[in-house]
Structure 1
Amino acid sequence: MPKLKNIFIHLLIMSLFVGFVLAIRFKPITQSLELDYDEGLNLIKAFLYGQGFSLYTQIWNDQPPLFTVILSQWFHLFGQSIFAARFLIILFSALLIWCFYQIINSELGKIPAFVATLVLFTSGLFIRLSFSVMIGIPSLSLAMLSIYFLNLYQKQYRQPFLILSGGLLALSLQIKFLTVFLIPLMLFSLALTNVTIFPKKQLKIILQPFLWWLGSLGVVFLLIGLCFQQFSHLDQIFESHFHQPSEIKLVNFNNFEYLKKIISPDYEYIFLAFLGILTIIIKKQRNGLLPLAWLVTATLILIKHKPIWYHHYLLLTIPISWLAAYAIASFLDFCKNWHHSKSLKIKKFIFLILSATFIFLMITTPANPKGRPPTDVEVIQLLLKHKNSTHWVFTDRPIYAFYAGLRVPPEMAVISYKRLNSGDLTSKQLLTILQNYCPEQMVLGRWISQIKSDSDFMAYINENYSKIYTDEKKTVEHYLLNKVHKCTPKHSLE
């Protein structure tokens, strides 16, 4: 019964977190057409997968398969809507926050854990990313759950925790490969534990925890990859990521400038993290080596990786918040040198101040960027008007097709900057897709100038399509297939 009571309390706390995020960000969650272009890509992949199309062989996909599968099943249970998808991300965010708090609470106590959670939640872009349909939060939440179970193993030395930790990190990797850098860091943390509990044991006994952890990670990762034929299409996953020509004009390729820009709202948190690092070094706190190694490794990755995007900041803000907890713990230790009664009063006072600060920061933390409002509802209305006679929609912004409940050619489900910039998707290939599917409707809303610069592509459109809508800024165009046309589709809905 005590265990059931604890589970209920933890679920209640996570529910309150979810409710709080919904309350303070209800408008952008429910009314923003698209918080990020990646939302449209993730939504349409899940939609197509739910329609029976397979990943990699039919749906072009440059990411691991797990999030698409999870989101597709979520739609099956709760209906296909942008709110349902964003609510799923909020749940992943709640899991991340819960794991983060529990890990620090077990190491440093409630107040440092509370402050660190406050720092994380109010950091630059965390709230906004907590409901954007993107893969960063889901991947990192499972990675934090993996660290949580590793933390439990290091305290209780129970093998199931080790197996769960490895398996959960595999799930994280099958959502986004970027968490792969945590593998050596977690192995290092495990090694520190083994040195403590097995100082004079045989090599076989010392290596056993590593084998269990790596074994569970490898088995789960391989099973998912084999199930979705992931390893037969590694070119899709790696080609566009590692063949990005630099565009000096874009700030995203200027790593130092862009990093400085995205961390600028959190300089005070970085100062706390710096104090936390000093505490770890001076007091030789082994537990603090994991977040410290995480921060150093993630910083080196982001300095080298090109291009970097704002959502990569999560890789920094988690260890920064974690390290800040050590600074708070050091301050509380200082308070303990005072008379006990005074110390207790001070702790209560600190807790009240922090609680008030938490509520204030939650309310005042801006939702920026607020997402793209539904200014192009006319396009969605046009798609819906002709939905009954439409088999396919050709679009460079799949969010429109998702809102209308229409399919896009699966080969172009991911029409992203990385794919176009790397040369993986060319104008010639787009023309071939157009010819093969003969989509009854076409919407251009992101790469108009790039697509229309190809003369063969435009010649085909002018011959077979009629433009019936252009917005005032001429950034969105809608076309209908001519009733009398020369296009013969090579792909049907079946």
Structure 2
Amino acid sequence: MPKLKNFLFHLLIIFLIAGFLLAIRFKPITQTFELDYDEGLNLIKTLLYSQGFSLYTQIWNDQPPLFTVLLSQWFTLFGESVFAARFLVMLFSALLLWCFFQIIRRDLGILPALVATLLLFTSWLYIRLSISVMIGIPSLSLAMLSIYFLTLYKERFHNSFIILSGGLLALSLQTKLFTIILLPLILFSILNFNLKAIQQKKLWFNPFVLWLGTLSVIYIIIGLSYQQFSNFDQLLQSHLNQPIEKELVNFNNINYLPRMMSQDYDYIFLALIGILAIFLKKRREGLFPLTWLGTSLLFILNHKPIWYHHYPLLAIPICWLAGYGVALLLDLLSKNFKSANIKKLIFPSLAVVLFIVLVVATPANPKGRPPNKLEAMQLVLKYKDSTHWVFTDRPIYAFYAGLRVPPEIAVMSYKRLHSRDLTSKELLAVLQKYRPEQIVLARWTGQIKSDSQLIAYINKNYSKTYTDEKGITEHYILSALKM
């Protein structure tokens, strides 16, 4: 019973964090049409999967399957809505923050852990990513839970902890593959601990093998269950065949990286103090976030293009290292405050003030891509009853209407189009195969209309019902519907 009560208490904390996120960003969560284009891609994949279409063999998908499957089950429980999907990501974010706090608390104490967690919460675009239907935060959340169970294992030597840790990182990798950068860090950490424990004669088995074996088995089982490996080219081709576009800042890593990190220069300063503290105090545990930061920097410098949703890979270790800086500063300050009562009051008070200032200073950043006018959405809804398929480069329109898009083009992303994985010829074939009753162009309009055969087919078989002033958003209906 005490263990159950403890588990329920921590579960309540996670829900309270998610509730707090909802409270401070209620308007963006409930009213923003689309926080990021990836929201529409993830939502429509889930809608199609829920209706019986299989990933990879029918639904084109360049990401691991776990989030789509989990979100589908979530929709079964709470209904298919953007809000429900965003709340699920908020829960993942709350879990990440809880794990982050617990890991640092066990090493540095409550106050450094609290400050580090507040810094992470208010780091550049973390809140926005926490309320967007994107897969980065869920993947990092599972990775942090894996690291948390690893810290528990090093304290208690329970086999279940090492198994849970390996299994959770497998789930993280099956959500988004970018957490693979943590694999060598964790393996080295286990190996280092393993050698010490064997020398002290505390181990009767090899946790290194058990952790890696658990990860491999679970990762392979999930991959086989969703035909992931039979269509592995979908996961690789669009990512590896990106043409370099030097005019875009995202491809200029050395320029874009400082731009991202400049948002949190104050946190970086505190992290530098933390790095100094790690070496001065000889805190070996601090080498993990330090190595994480170095690995992430190498990854981002060599990955093209880089996007803002890669930034948490840097923010987490920066704020973790900042926790060591806070611990050092508190240690120096405490020597000047002899009264225990003063220390008990002043430090928590400073943390509360810091939290309020950071939350107020952190903008909502609902810089999604809402339509300037709702005419296109209203037209999609107007013809909903006579529509089976919607051809669109922005599938959020179809999701809001509860309509399907051809599964071959569920993901019409920048990477897919620019890697030539999806060509105009293939788009024309989709139109001819499905004869969708509606077409909504709202993202790649110019690129799609630049193909003479494709636009000739559209003009011949469809009637344009709407175009905005900039000619970016256009709506068409099958000519037969107008008769």
Normalised TM-score (structure 1): 0.95
Q: Summarize deviations over 1:342-400 as a string: whole Å, max 9, x none.
A: 25513420211111221232233101253233534221221111111111100010000
Which residue number corresponds to residue 221 of structure 1? 219
| 1:258 and 2:275 are equivalent in the alignment | no
The answer for the alignment partner of 1:279 in structure 2 is 277
What SS is found at the alignment partner of 2:463? strand
Q: How does 1:225-304 map to 2 (within 5 A)?
A: 225-304=223-302
Matched with 2:23 is 23
1:78 corresponding residue in structure 2: 78
Specify every segment of 5 or more residues in structure 2 that has no aligned partner in the other structure, as ranges: none
Q: Is the 8 A contact 1:24 1:363 kept in 2?
A: no
Taking only aligned residues, the RMSD between alpha carbons, in angstroms, comes to: 1.6
1:262 is displaced (CA, Å) by 1.4
Structure 1 residues 91 and 123: alpha-carbon distance in aligned structure 2, compared to 1, 3 A threshold = same
Q: Distance in 2 between matches of 1:417 and 1:153?
A: 42
After the TM superposition, which residues 74-223 of structure 1 pair with which residues of structure 2 at under 5 Å, given as runs?
74-199=74-199, 208-223=206-221
| CA deviation string 1:297-349 (max 9, x = no partner) | 0000000100000010010000000001111111222244456x425513420
Partner of 1:418: 415
Equivalent residues of 1:124, 1:266 under 8 A apart: yes
User: Any idea what the Cα deviations from partners look like across 1:415-448, whole Å, max 9, x if unmatched?
Assistant: 0000001010011110111111110110100001
Question: What is the Cα deviation at residue 207 of structure 1?
Answer: 6.8
Return the alpha-carbon distance in structure 2 between the equivalents of residues 169 and 447 of structure 1: 36
After superposition, residues 303-452 of structure 1 pair within 5 angstroms as 303-338=301-336, 341-452=338-449
Q: How many residues align?
A: 482
Q: 1:188 Cα shift?
A: 1.2
Distance 1:52 1:169 in 2: 28
Q: Give the Cα separation in 1 of the matches to 2:171 and 2:129.
A: 20
Question: Matched residues in 1 for 2:249 and 2:340: separation?
Answer: 49
Tell me, yes or no, if the aligned pair for 1:41 and 1:399 is still in contact at 8 Å: yes
- Counterpart position of 1:488: none
CA distance in 2, matches of 1:228, 1:140: 22
Does the C-alpha gap of structure 1 residues 284 and 241 become closer, same or farther in structure 2, counting only changes over 3 Å?
same
C-alpha distance 58-417 of structure 1, shift in aligned 2 (>3 A)? same
SS state at 1:293 partner: helix
| Paired letter, 2:430 | I
- Supply the distance in 2 between the matched residues of 1:168 and 1:307 (Cα, whole angstroms): 28
Cα distance in 1 for partners of 2:212, 2:381 equals: 50
> How far, CA to CA, are the matches of 1:102 and 1:130 in structure 2?
19
Report the AA paired with residue 398 of structure 1.
P
The 3-state SS of whatever aligns with 1:193 is: helix
Q: 2: CA distance between counterparts of 1:421 and 1:429?
A: 14
CA distance in 2: counterparts of 1:160 and 1:37, whole angstroms: 39
- Letter in structure 2 aligned against 1:165: S
SS in 2 for 1:483: helix
SS in 1 for 2:440: strand
Give yes or no for the alignment of 1:2 onto 2:6. no
Q: CA deviation at 1:472?
A: 2.7
Cα contact 2:395–2:410 (8 A) shared by 1: yes
> 1:426-476: CA deviations, max 9, x gaps?
111101111111101101000011000000101111111110111233221
SS in 2 for 1:198: helix
Identical counterparts, % of pairs: 64
Q: Which amino acid aligns with 1:267?
A: Y
Out of 223-232 and 347-356, give the one that drifted further.
347-356
CA deviations over 1:182-210 (Å, ceiling 9, x no partner): 111001111222233222659xx687111
Q: Give distance in 1, aligned partners of 2:79 and 2:415.
A: 30
- How far apart in 1 are the matches of 2:360 and 2:261? 20
Cα offset, 1:46, TM superposition: 0.3
Q: Secondary structure of 1:295's partner? A: helix
User: CA 1:88–1:484 in structure 2 vs 1: closer, same or farther (change >3 Å)?
Assistant: closer
Q: Give yes or no for contact 2:32–2:366 (8 Å, CA) kept in 1.
A: no
For residues 199-239 of structure 1, the C-alpha deviation after alignment (integer angstroms, 9 at most, x for no partner) is 2659xx68711110001100100000000010000100000
Alpha-carbon distance between aligned partners in 1 of 2:96 and 2:278, rounded to the nearest angstrom: 24
CA separation of 1:353/1:195 partners in 2, compared to 1, >3 Å: closer, same or farther?
A: same
Q: CA deviation at 1:7?
A: 2.5
Partners of 2:10 and 2:278 in 1: how far apart?
A: 29
Distance 2:182 2:78 in 1: 33
Does 2:473 align with 1:453?
A: no
Cα offsets for 1:122-161 (capped at 9, x unmatched): 1111111001000000000000000000010011111110
Secondary structure of 1:402 counterpart: helix
Offset, 1:12: 2.7
